[in-house]
Structure 1
Amino acid sequence: MISSQTKDRILSKFVSVSTMRCATNIKTDCKAHDLTSAEYSAIIDQFEKMGLIECSRYLGGNIMICISVDAHDFYSRGGFVGQEMLLKANIEKLGLELDKLAKDLAPEHLATAQKIATIGSAIMSAIGYFH
């Protein structure tokens, strides 16, 4: 499974270079991150779709990467782990707000609030799958 920590380690490698360009090889560099070449390639593709990098692909799995300023900003704000933590915190906050709402509602709206609270609880339990 590809974790947020793994994606942050790869992104860290890219943003830590002294220039805005670097090279990688799908076939060899995947081993440094304990990934298959398909997983490593998928991460590179995701970075490119997110606008964090631009790639020029060559034979043999070689890729020339141009790192965007957005990649540096995203990484400095916590990267993928930070994004995951923010999502978790927002979902937890939603759960607390739903619990409070259920307590504050009039009895005739209690059934609807309980349904919403159940959905919130299901979301909260799903958070466990992020770790």
Structure 2
Amino acid sequence: MMRGQTTICGALTRKGTSCQNIPMKNGRCRMHGGKSTGPKDRKKLCRNQNAAGNKARVTTGEYETITWETLTAQEQNKLRQHYGLQPYQRINNPYVMEDVRIARMLQRSREETEDIRWIQIEEALTRTQGKRFKQICSMLQR
């Protein structure tokens, strides 16, 4: 204990001894303060609100997260018409979402003007179609 110090942290160290550092308000030192309790605001508990729907860094779309909530209204309507869904029904089939991914990638390749980016999209599209082929093969083997 340091001179004038009346309390210690007391947490168990890696050596097996008790920590001799000065405690903070919570009773532990800066090294042993405990895990973060997370955000107190309810809105911040659900993912980063600023990043919801953010497509700023999507270049090819190969790794884009696609769920029913991230589909545009036009895409949702097309899927409802194609599969004969009621307005309250959803599709959570990953195979169908791969169709949406491929359609989006084809749209990006049509809109792209730079040759390098176009080639990147085409290569990513080839990889995505290869993954889809593997999905089909695994479904047929079952």
**TM-score, with structure 1 as normaliser:** 0.32
Identify, as 1 or 2, the structure richer in helix. 1
**TM-score, with structure 2 as normaliser:** 0.30
Identify, as 1 or 2, the structure richer in strand. 1
